[in-house]
């Protein structure tokens, strides 16, 4: 059930999901073994082995919009969270700093070792650690139990998810935990209730985990102290110009693994490197299985880039990015290194140091964005449904053509 880390596997899984996409709104909340009612595409979407627009277009070629609106809406929740955080980067740095200030808590370790004492929680921990995936409802129940029942810091729960989830994402993860803890939408917390678990857990799971249900009987919310609405502090996203130079190298990283399907796809490069953000993997203690998954996804990106540009792409998953990029740029006599712009998160945090190391060697770092990201980024100035209404209009007005091929240029174009 774990998605193989390649674009081909992701497209294959999308093809398998398309026939049941029309049932998603009805079935998506049910937590069943193997999770047959949801797409399980999140690791691929998270690392951009495939893009949200591609997923939406493929589903809309097979179904009328009103039958699959719920699914497409969920796909664009991720883009909402990313855009929201991109406008308010202080929320990320506050989370990162508060995580660094937390003291060691033996209870956090016990829960993380599936020794919480509650079979429901231990079951989800085992699934998360064993597979790198959890169903959305399981994530919500687990996070609600962590925050409101076990009364553990939401930040350490978010770090635990980020470490193990193959789709672990600075925006979707951090902001979902904030939402459960009542920090994202002032006055609203998420509580997991026994009746909800009884409704959506598969009968065999319900039976085997029955002893853990009492903890969800009468949940009481841990209300946060006064919650301030985080202001937008970065309305504009920096734009950098790529100058034409034969000594230009392409850097591919794990925030965007289908660069050949981006504006950089039409540029020429003299050399290509694909790197893993190993400093971040170490810092967050990513387990071996997740490192391997990421390494394979990076290798897949390197193979595709090699085919697209007809030059071998080197893969670096041992050295930190700074060292790897400077060594490679010097060895290939590069004047500039070009990459997709990582959005807010650990890789973005490391950019100033990376840029400085390259600059010391006389090399420019130029970051570029996907126009579709820039176009909808500012839609996230308010709540999700405001964001969605603007996207929805486009989907309704311009459904993708049934005949257009999967690899054609972006099939969905959001007006600014």
Ligand X SMILES: Cc1cc2nc3c(=O)[nH]c(=O)nc-3n(C[C@H](O)[C@H](O)[C@H](O)COP(=O)(O)OP(=O)(O)OC[C@H]3O[C@@H](n4cnc5c(N)ncnc54)[C@H](O)[C@@H]3O)c2cc1C
Binding window for ligand X (CB under 6 A); candidates: 70-78, 192-200, 228-236, 320-328:
70-78
Binding window for ligand X (CB under 6 A); candidates: 115-123, 138-146, 271-279, 362-370:
138-146
CA atoms within 13 A on the CB side of 163: 17
167 lines the binding site for ligand X (CB under 6 A): yes
346 lines the binding site for ligand X (CB under 6 A): no
Q: Which of 136, 196, 270, 327 binds ligand X (CB under 6 A)?
A: 136
In whole angstroms, the minimum distance from the beta carbon of 324 to ligand X comes to: 25
Q: Which of 57, 111, 128, 140 binds ligand X (CB under 6 A)?
A: 140
Which of residues 172 and 357 has its CB atom nearest to ligand X in the complex? 172
169 lines the binding site for ligand X (CB under 6 A): yes
Binding residues for ligand X, total number by CB under 6 A: 28
116 lines the binding site for ligand X (CB under 6 A): no
297 lines the binding site for ligand X (CB under 6 A): no
68 lines the binding site for ligand X (CB under 6 A): no
In whole angstroms, the minimum distance from the beta carbon of 332 to ligand X comes to: 34
Q: Which of 10, 31, 42, 343 binds ligand X (CB under 6 A)?
A: 42
58 lines the binding site for ligand X (CB under 6 A): no
384 lines the binding site for ligand X (CB under 6 A): no
In whole angstroms, the minimum distance from the beta carbon of 176 to ligand X comes to: 3
Residues in 142-161 at the binding interface with ligand X, rule: CB under 6 A: 143, 161
Quick one: how far is CA 357 from the chain centroid? Answer: 28
How far is residue 308 from each of residues 175, 285, 407, 413, measured CA to CA in Å? 36, 34, 13, 24
Q: Residues 46, 135: contact at Cβ < 8 Å?
A: no
Residues in the site for ligand X, rule: CB under 6 A? 28, 38-42, 45-46, 74-75, 77-78, 81, 135-136, 139-140, 143, 161, 165, 167-169, 172-173, 176-177, 180
């Amino acid at each position: 059930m774990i998605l193989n880390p390649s674009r081909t596997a992701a497209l294959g899984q999308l093809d398998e999901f398309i026939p049941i996409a029309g049932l998603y709104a009805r079935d998506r909340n049910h937590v069943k073994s193997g999770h047959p009612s949801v797409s399980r595409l999140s690791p691929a979407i998270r690392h951009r082995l495939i893009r949200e627009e591609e997923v939406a277009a493929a589903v809309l070629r097979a179904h009328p919009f009103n039958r699959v609106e719920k699914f497409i809406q969920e796909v664009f929740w991720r883009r909402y969270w990313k855009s929201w955080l991109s406008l308010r980067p202080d929320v990320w740095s506050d989370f990162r700093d508060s995580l660094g200030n937390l003291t060691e808590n033996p209870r956090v370790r016990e829960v993380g070792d599936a020794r919480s004492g509650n079979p429901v929680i231990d079951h989800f921990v085992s699934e998360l650690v064993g597979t790198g995936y959890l169903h959305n409802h399981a994530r919500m129940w687990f996070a609600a139990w962590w925050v409101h029942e076990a009364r553990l810091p939401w930040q350490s729960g978010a770090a635990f998810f980020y470490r193990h989830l193959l789709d672990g994402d600075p925006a979707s993860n951090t902001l979902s935990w904030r939402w459960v803890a009542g920090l994202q939408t002032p006055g609203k917390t998420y509580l997991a209730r026994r009746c909800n678990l009884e409704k959506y857990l598969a009968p065999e799971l319900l039976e085997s985990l029955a002893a853990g249900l009492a903890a969800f009987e009468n949940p009481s919310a841990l209300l946060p102290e006064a919650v301030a609405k985080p202001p937008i502090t970065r309305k504009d996203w920096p734009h950098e110009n790529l100058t034409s130079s034969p000594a230009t190298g392409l850097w591919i990283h794990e925030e965007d693994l289908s660069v050949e399907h981006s504006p950089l796809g039409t540029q020429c490069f003299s050399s290509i490197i694909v790197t893993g953000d190993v400093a971040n993997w170490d810092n967050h203690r990513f387990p071996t299985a997740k490192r391997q998954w990421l390494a394979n996804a990076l290798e897949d990106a390197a193979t595709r880039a090699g085919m697209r540009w007809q030059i071998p792409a080197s893969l670096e998953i041992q050295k930190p990015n700074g060292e790897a990029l400077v060594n490679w740029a010097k060895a290939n006599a590069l004047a500039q290194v070009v990459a997709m712009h990582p959005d807010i998160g650990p890789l973005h945090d490391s950019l100033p140091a990376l840029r400085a190391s390259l600059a010391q060697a006389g090399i420019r770092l130029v970051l570029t964005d996907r126009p579709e990201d820039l176009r909808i980024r500012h839609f996230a100035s308010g709540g999700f449904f405001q964001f969605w209404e603007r996207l929805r209009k486009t989907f309704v007005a311009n459904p993708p053509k049934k005949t257009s091929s999967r690899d054609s240029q972006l099939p969905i174009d959001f007006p600014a």
